[in-house]
A and B are shown apart, each in its own frame.
Chain A
Amino acid sequence: VPDDGTIPDETRLYRRLHPTQVVWDDNQGCIRVSSGAFTDEFMSVNLGNELERINEPPTFALRHYPIHSLAWLSKGFVQSHEQEVRSTPTPDDSTHGEVVGRKKGSRSRQFAKEAKIEILRRDDLQPDLLEHLKDDEATP
């Protein structure tokens, strides 16, 4: 279903992350999402407004995924990068949506830098990334 304007711009679009898709960025001095997580032309997400409608927290998106973390972008942000946001519910997930449009190149990098990590499952991250996190937390 194409965007008919019923999805507010501030809606959070939640995207699951495999542990390997979280990287250390020394330029920013923090962990962030790799651009490799945002390359799908038809990129599945969970729509934040639909989660609110059914009274489910963002963790709903991880209910079948014990090792994945969760990040989000706003609908307004992706729309400003020539993407269309669609509500595409599935039998298993009424909050399912898609961000449709070409993302390769600099666009996927812009998405990666803008994405906010909502839930980080540390136990499954790469060991060297955990070392960075420990060092970062030990710094006063």
Chain B
Amino acid sequence: VSPALQAPQYLVDTHVVSRPPIRSTSLISNAQEQRFSLQVSQPAAEWIQSAIAKIEGLTTLAPGWDGYSGKMIDSTVAVQAVKFVIDHAYPTLPEPAIVPTAEGGIQIEWHRGGIDFEVAISDVESTVFVEDTETGNIDERPADQANSIFGDVIGRLAASA
């Protein structure tokens, strides 16, 4: 795989640090402090902060935001969307569209290289949808299979970047 098509990679290292004893009978008196270090071995796309800010912005939408009966974006959905963005912030990809849905979900979309790639995250049903606009082939699966489908189309999504 070309380095340009590698996903951003993070190495999280956990260090357990003993805390000085606390003079109390608190249940946490023997708790240990955990410190994390984050090493980025493959840089993420520059747009990652912008995309996360957009997701954060969606959580402020009021009920009826769509001009109808659109629901507020659930924080659990927003966290899942952020996780998807972090895992798929390939440096060679342009920023995806981040779109709210009426049932309180979030869609993350790329329409590029002859591919329509959409991940719809909601607390009801999360799906990934891919259409090859050149062949008309359509593939729709549960969102937990998004990574494998993404791997099949990343080259085309990034091709004209």
Contacts and interface: CB of A to CB of B under 8 A. Distances in A.
B146 interface: no
A23 B111 contact: yes
A16 B67 contact: yes
B125 A35 contact: no
Interface residues of A, number: 26
A24 interface: yes
Interface in B119-149: 120, 125, 127, 129, 131, 133, 138, 140
Given A21-B66, A26-B112, A105 B58 contact: no
A28 B140 contact: no
Contacts, number: 81
A68 interface: yes
Given A106-B129, A109-B116, A36 B99 contact: yes
Interface of B: 50, 54, 58, 61, 65-70, 94-95, 97-103, 105, 107, 109, 111-116, 118, 120, 125, 127, 129, 131, 133, 138, 140, 160
Interface of A: 16-18, 20-21, 23-28, 34-37, 39-40, 44, 65, 68, 104-106, 109, 126, 128
